[in-house]
Structure 1
């Protein structure tokens, strides 16, 4: 999956087709009509409450697609880091690479689409981290 462009409706439709869930079951679970479901399939983005319902129905974390996008294409900046921490907003670890992210990046390198230097530059992944992934991935 390419994480740069996320068409959530298409992703939902693909998983529905893969799992073979009927439109009747979807409509009953979401308490919506068939037209709403078709609209979701065509949408680039949907409301988070609706996405949460889809995630529960399909037993898949669609929010992870967006987290993966943030990790790959909007890594935390080393510049302008404030020492002040807000008590209101939860603080997350800055670099959490899921197995899907690791597989995606390793696939890019192995297929020759990107070099290690490209990955380090484009995704701001530390060189030592990338080398560790490559060592673990060797047969």
Structure 2
């Protein structure tokens, strides 16, 4: 299980490159860099988004999703405007209809409940997960554990 709170993107890129056994010569050609630049990337806690996009393509992995998970878990959206006021404004950026709950996010949340780190109510309040969604996860994944 990955810790989504403290992200060191360079280490994650290095891990993925090793898993895929990616040839350093191919990496250098694709990224238009030197092997020293690659080593510097592995030591970097953060990267420029254009470079991260190239790494995502090269290693066939969505590294941006790690940051999305962080936002879902540690920075739930807050609203200073009422729903009616927000509906009247047309945003310049695209709005996403719902959060992305991947299996990793679901497992992380259910593990917090199972270990007693958080109660169901704390999870609902802190992560803004609908009560029905959380209870469906609990039933579904408890059933899968028993099978």
For Structure 1 versus Structure 2, the TM-score category normalised by the shorter chain is 0.7 to 0.9
Per the TM alignment, residue 26 of structure 1 is displaced from its structure 2 partner at its CA by 1.0
User: How far does residue 22 in structure 1 lie from its aligned partner after superposition?
Assistant: 2.1
Partner of 2:87: helix, strand, or coil?
coil
How many residue pairs get aligned? The number is 139
TM-score, normalised via structure 2 length: 0.83
Post-superposition shift, 1:38? 0.9
Partner of 1:46: 47
Q: Encode CA deviations 1:99-136: one digit per residue, 9 max, x unaligned.
A: 22112212333344433233224323232221111011
User: Which moves more between the two structures, 111-120 or 18-27?
Assistant: 111-120
Give the structure 1 partner of residue 105 of structure 2: 101
Gaps of at least 5 residues in structure 2 are none
Contact residue 76 and residue 94 of structure 1 kept, 8 A: no
Q: Choose between structure 1 and 2: higher helix proportion.
A: 2
- Unmatched tracts of structure 1, length 5 or more: none
What is the CA distance between 1:64 and its match in structure 2?
Answer: 0.3
2:27 maps to 26
State the distance in 2 between where 1:35 and 1:84 align. 51
Deviations 1:73-109 (A, max 9, x none): 1112244343333352111124332222112212333
Tell me the equivalent position of 2:57. 56
Distance 2:43 2:77 in 1: 31
Q: TM-score, normalised on structure 1? A: 0.87
Q: Deviations over 1:35-85 (max 9, x none)?
A: 111111111111111111110111100000011111111112244343333
Query: Match for 2:132 among 128, 132, 136?
Result: 128
Deviates more, 1:64-73 or 1:120-129: 120-129
